Amino acid sequence: MWKIILVEILEKQHGIPREEGEQITDKFLQSFRSCPDNAQTTLDSWRSYLWCQALPANYQHLSDVIYKNWLQLRYRYLALTTEYENMLKKLSKFYLLALITNGPSNGQWEKINKLNISQYFDCILVSSDLPWEKPNPNIFLAACNILNVKPQQCLMIGDKIQTDIQGGKEANLGGTVWIPITNDYDANSITPRPDVIVKNLLEIYNFLPTTNVSALRNNSERAAHGMDDSDDDDAAHCSSRPQRSQSQSTITSGASSSRRVSQQYRRQVSFSAVDFNDSSCDCS
């Protein structure tokens, strides 16, 4: 949706013909997805450079303005809906929440900050700040250590089988919940198999009536075959707050109380001037 609006902006505000605007946008997106971040410079500088490279010479002077148009649209459509924000507020009152995400540090932290979601999480880990990324079990165990809970007390929620679910299994977490992005899958052939499959993150309420994460396993067969009783994006990790129950459990996600841990590890990065005329993409 944002792409259509951006092409309209290019045409109406900057005089770029629609077809050419679509080609420019596609070229930028291809470069951006290939290398969304460059450790040698700031996000703003890198993205403006990518737009400059995508634009024909006669439009390159517009790269900074078009980048700002794109950034505004990007976060308009990434913004949390009220129902998801309310869900995080509710869960954070009863569970310790961790966010574990793979990706470049600068870009992922920009998302976290612009979406204002750090207030709901007790632990936030970005793979580029650490020696591991999902599905390496160490990144999950690091979250458990920060939250001071056992892996078996944790529930992994994510939309990617090979990183979120596999990592949760290898870390021996108490349960895994998969939220497929599309309906094009065969529940019987999924490997590794999640304990629960839900169509919508809001369905997680159906599986968290208590702090006993192991109860998920009793529902796994029904959920995996689409037999749940309900009518109804980075991964999450959750565990119930110790003051709420003697039996702890933690939720971790593949994004508050006065006792919130608020442990957020971020590698310190310093930037130096970069000449992009002879630049190579470095996403490390």
What CA dihedral angle connects 236, 241, 242 and 243, to 10 degrees?
A: 180
Distance between CA atoms of residues 151 and 137, nearest Å: 10
Q: Is the peptide bond before 36 cis (omega within 30 degrees of 0)?
A: no
User: So what's the pLDDT on residue 221?
Assistant: 38
Q: Are 52 and 46 in contact (CB under 8 A)?
A: no
Domains of the chain are 2-78 (1.20.120), 82-264 (3.40.50.1000)
Tens-digit pLDDT string for the chain (284 aa): 789 999 999 999 999 999 999 999 999 999 999 999 888 889 999 999 999 999 999 999 999 999 999 999 999 988 899 999 999 999 998 899 999 999 988 899 999 999 999 999 999 999 999 999 999 999 999 999 999 999 999 999 999 999 999 999 999 999 999 999 888 888 888 999 999 999 999 998 888 754 344 444 444 433 333 333 333 345 666 665 543 333 334 555 553 333 334 445 544 433 333 334 433 344 33
Q: What is the pLDDT of residue 237?
A: 62
Distances (CA, A) of 29 to 67, 70, 121, 188, 260: 12, 11, 30, 35, 38
Residue for token pair 């992994």: 156
Query: For the purposes of burial, counting CB atoms within 10 Å of the CB of 259, is it exposed (0-12), middle (13-18) or buried (19 or more)?
Result: exposed
pLDDT for res 94: 87
